[in-house]
Chain A
Amino acid sequence: MISKIWKSTVCLLLCATLGSLTLSAQNDLSSLMLVNTWQNMNANPALQPSGFTINLPGIYNNLWVTNITFNDLLVEEGGRQVLDVSNAISQMEAQNILREDLDIETIGIGFQFGALGLNIGHRLRFNALIDYPKTLAQLIWEGNAQFIGQTVEFGPAFDVTAYHEFALGASYKIGDNIKVGGRVKLLSGGANLNTGNSELQLTTDDDIYQLRMDADYVVNSAGTLNYDGLRDVNVNFDFGNFSTDELFGGNSGMAFDLGIAVKLNRLQIAVSAVDLGGEISWEENVNNYTLEGAYEFEGLDVAQDLLDNEESFGSIIDSLYDTYEPIETSQSYTTTIGAKYYFSGQYEIDEQISVGLIGFTNDYRDINTTGLAVTGSINFSPLLRLGAFYGLRNERFDNLGVNATVSIGPARIILATDNIISAFRPKDANLANFRLGANLQFGQEKEDVDTSNGNRFF
């Protein structure tokens, strides 16, 4: 009974998000190893490929789920697959995160004339972050009886956004050893579902289990949530239906990328900030659903009705629904795109091999994601460059990334994953990540690629 309420109000949102996550991945470490590619520039706008580059459609996906894995959820029992929810919950920590980043690159064009490079590109981006407490899952799947006499926080915070990114960038080479770059990005929001405030507390009284919910909870929706009472909540967030009709809607924003790369003989150091100040103002198809204050349900006061023989048990659910009815408004709101900060240092041991260190950090809705990787790459030939890294990421040590850049004529095919382990043990993985891309590159000077004095980077 109670679970219906919670499932209606919260779990639907989770499920809707999960339903859209048919791929997997993370915040990017591999891109900085994809030297002289469009994807490399996405991590640092100073690293624009030389010559004339066309970025063909590609995809990047990162899924990060903390604390639980597929194998925690699904077990075989008597020859059938069974969801072991209790086991999954036992693996959770107090706060748990599910994060999904999906980029679909459509087209990009860049060219460099001398010291100046210009580029323009478009991609569809989908970001989802769900930060949920263990108590939420406990309340839904194990019930609130375990919390009798207690007050528990259970409000999930989430932000699910789909938007177009139109980027216009420039890079400039200062002398032989310094290159700077920047991009201005116009963000056109397609759909969003997020929580403003996300404080929910449930108190289950030890008397006769009276329920009190102290709430400061706001769900903002832009074209995603169809709400007609708690009994009828539908989330419409199918990324496959995200059409070009949304290209220049009223939900818009800006973001900026800045980067610099410095070459010191065989050592290159690069620093960048991506999606700086990124935010989208949502003004179209906006609805806000607010729960604020104390919502109490102490049981039905039906003495008179019972004496009149007019009441049955059934209206308890109606009363619960009525108790937790949110206030609906239509006020515009703003969401942020968390800025990402990259640092890398690459050292060329010789013409074929280089090693390095990549660092990454991202603060997004108070969730900090940090990665640190030791990298190595080798040029097997002008046609193939392979890279690998071992990284510490998201407090886990089992990150082994591999990437490859294959050059066939002007075509470059980029393949990368930040965690190859998940490909072999997918059901035990917390992180899944891959990138697939293709560039057409023209006019690159051979010496830029194959010089022995370290000019490969630029």
Chain B
Amino acid sequence: MKLQNNLFSVLRLSVLALSLTALVGCSQFAELEDAEGSRYEAEYAVPLLNTSFSMNDLLDNFEENSVLTVLPDGLLRLQYSGSVLTENADDVFEAINATLAGAGGIAIESTVQALPFSGPDGLVIDRMDLKEGNLFWTLENCHDKDLTITLTFPTVIKDGEPLTVVRELPTAGVEGECTPRDNILNPISLADYSITTVNDSIYVEYQAIDTDGVEVEPSSGTGILIAQLAFSYAEGYLGQISHSSDPDSIEIDFFDNWIRGDVFFEEPVITFNFENSFGIPTRAIVDQFDVVSVDGTTLPLESEFIDEGIEFPFPSLDQVGEVTSTDFVFDKDNSNIREILSSGPIAINYDVSAATNPDGDTDIRGFVTDSSFYRVLVEVDLPLYGWAINFGVRDTFDLSLTDLDNADYAEFKMVTENAMPVAIGVQGYFRDEAGNALDSLYDAPTRVIAGAPVGSDGRPTDIQETVTFSDFPADRFTKIKGATQLEVVATFFTTTDGEQSVQILNDQDVKVKVGAILGVSGN
């Protein structure tokens, strides 16, 4: 009995022990799973951004109207351009055609007769080459003998031969009646004829010889009609014609995001580019060339060339078909460009016209062809050589910090390596969807990027590294988690803060690296 008691005692003990071992094992994990919280404090250090950009990248993105180019010495240059004036030969030929069209039919009343042609506005045309046109004639024989009638245009030449019409007209045979003849249904094409003038006139010669060899006067129904003329070339003194276009403007978006500060460009340039295939002296007249600054001020470009106009280059008579071009440059030496472009230009308003034969010198012979044109382009060049002080811009970026929901606090570290001689101060404002400012990136605007040092020529001599920290303890970090936008106000200072002009080169960039220590705690 005693043994049996011992046996069951031991059994109970063993089963209890085993059960405890097993069951406690189960319940331990159950308890772990059911734990109502966890106590830990973790800090994760992660890189966020590791990127670089150059002024080239920046301007490529912010400048839509400009072309960013690299000058041979590596200097970056912003170019804004616009078309000022474009003209072709239509106006000139339209005037001549109108004159001839107005003449209508011309009665031939003598054996040598000048056509009633005169150039508009004092045009003196020495030669015209025709690419289209028709000559209609009507002849009449009111005599009692048959006639051989010859119409000759001695200065209307094709292939070295003057334009000549010869017709035999028999007599009507009855007194008082005439024999008519015309080419109404089959006019003579004037294409490829070249017309020269004698004493500013075009002559037609009439000859009618009867069967006895006697020359007779033109009958009353004799005449010509010139129609559908189109010239391919005209030469002479082509008059004073003024060409104008509507005022226009060039938008400069460099200052679109500007909020304050000064920028000085050391060597800004405005270039008028002329292309001309008219063989006529022409002068560009600058009626308006105003710079509109970011504060609304209008500053006119001042130069003696604005007052006097700018002469076009033009091809000479032996350069027919060629296009001559030239650039006329307004710079700091011949204008006030540096002053007006330092005002923060946002637009240039201009109104430029052109006048042919501006001096009215009729001795100057010129030409036009049906493909003649001239074109005036204007370019505003802003080489990035100068200085900026407190040049502030503002932009807003979308932002999402939802992935950091589990973080309680954060410390951001920014390391910049700057090869540009431009320091950048930054302040950021975290904004919610309604645009309300939740907090700022720094307590005060902070120069997170220091400008690279420069030599006497304004070119960088080294790379500048800057390290900044931005601490967001739990209370601040909680606030910015709801931010959907980050408004960044960047302020640019060139190295030496404006005491010296610096050069922004194509190969300069800024490396921006941002890391964060994110704190996570459990309770």
Contact = CB atoms under 8 A, between A and B. Distances in A.
A and B: real partners?
Answer: yes
Given A86-B39, A303-B52, A432-B25, A143 B44 contact: yes
A252 B24 CA distance: 35
A145 B519 CA distance: 9
Contact of B46 (A21, A77, A209): A209
Interface string B22-59: 10111011011011111111111111111111000110
B512 interface: yes
B518 interface: yes
Contact of A312 (B39, B398, B407, B516): B398
Interface residues of B, number: 67
B474 interface: no
Given A24-B22, A312-B400, 13 more contacts: A1-B403, A21-B25, A75-B39, A143-B518, A209-B47, A209-B517, A299-B514, A306-B51, A314-B403, A384-B10, A404-B14, A422-B24, A426-B25
Contact of B413 (A83, A208, A313): A208
A188 to B, nearest CB: 27
A314 B400 contact: yes
Interface string A70-82: 1001110100111
B7 interface: yes
A420 interface: yes
A209 B516 contact: yes
B401 interface: yes
14 contacts: A19-B29, A70-B32, A74-B32, A75-B39, A82-B38, A86-B40, A141-B40, A143-B42, A209-B517, A306-B397, A307-B58, A308-B61, A312-B398, A383-B3
List the 10 shortest-distance A-B pairs measured between CB atoms, nearest first: A208-B515, A299-B50, A145-B43, A426-B24, A299-B47, A209-B45, A143-B42, A83-B38, A209-B515, A24-B25
A304 B51 CA distance: 9
A312 to B, nearest CB: 4
A87 B16 CA distance: 31
B20 A82 contact: no
Contact of B48 (A77, A316, A406, A433): A316
A313 B48 contact: yes
A159 to B, nearest CB: 21
A22 B25 contact: yes
Interface string A291-312: 0000001111111101111001
B39 A298 contact: no
Interface string A416-458: 0100101110110000111010000000000000000000000
Interface residues of A, number: 77
Nearest to B488: A306
B28 A70 contact: yes
Q: B35, B406, B415 — which one has the most chain A CB atoms within 10 A of its CB? A: B35
Nearest to A386: B10
A414 B513 CA distance: 67
Contacts of A73: 32
A211 interface: yes
B47 A143 contact: no
Given A1-B403, A81-B34, A420-B17, A23 B26 contact: yes
Interface string A342-383: 000000000000000000000000000000000000001101
Given A303-B57, A304-B53, A434-B22, A211 B36 contact: no
B21 interface: yes
Contacts of A384: 3, 6-7, 10
B135 interface: no
A195 interface: no
A3 B42 contact: yes
A168 interface: no
B21 A417 contact: yes
A36 to B, nearest CB: 18
B166 to A, nearest CB: 78
Nearest to A436: B18
A210 interface: yes
B37 A208 contact: no
A18 interface: yes
Given A380-B7, A404-B14, A406-B7, A81 B31 contact: yes
A63 B25 contact: yes
B399 interface: yes
B15 interface: yes
A380 B6 contact: yes
Contacts of B31: 70, 74, 81
A208 B50 contact: yes
Interface string B506-523: 000000111111101011
Contacts of A402: 14, 17
B21 A433 contact: yes
A84 B11 CA distance: 38
B26 A22 contact: yes
Interface of B: 3, 6-7, 10-11, 14-18, 20-22, 24-26, 28-29, 31-32, 34-53, 57-58, 61-62, 397-404, 406-407, 413-415, 512-518, 520, 522-523
Contacts of A381: 3, 7
Contacts of B523: 82
Nearest to B25: A24
A209 B397 CA distance: 24
Contacts of A309: 397-398
Contacts of B29: 18-19, 21-22
A433 B18 CA distance: 8
B51 A300 contact: yes
B7 A144 contact: no
A415 interface: yes
Given A22-B29, A145-B517, A83 B45 contact: no
B43 A82 contact: no
A228 interface: no
A233 interface: no
A404 B10 CA distance: 8
A148 interface: yes
B431 to A, nearest CB: 14
A24 B21 contact: yes
A317 interface: yes
Nearest to A86: B40
Contacts of B517: 145, 209
Contacts of A303: 51-53, 57, 512
Most-contacted residue by chain B among A80, A299, A307, A417 (CB, 10 A): A299
A300 B48 contact: yes
A146 interface: yes
Contacts of B36: 80-82
Interface in A326-342: none
B14 A83 contact: no
Contacts of A143: 42-45, 518, 520
A142 interface: yes
A417 B17 contact: yes
Contacts of A209: 45-47, 413, 515-517
A176 interface: no
A299 B415 CA distance: 12
Nearest to A2: B44
B18 A77 contact: no
A148 B513 CA distance: 16
B39 A83 contact: yes
B46 A83 contact: no
A426 B21 contact: yes
Contact of A307 (B53, B403, B513): B53
Given A2-B46, A84-B39, A207 B515 contact: yes
A415 B25 contact: no
B45 A82 contact: no
A16 interface: no
B158 to A, nearest CB: 64
B97 to A, nearest CB: 54
Contact of B39 (A21, A77, A422, A433): A77
B117 to A, nearest CB: 64
A24 B402 CA distance: 42
A427 B21 CA distance: 10
Contact of B21 (A81, A210, A432): A432
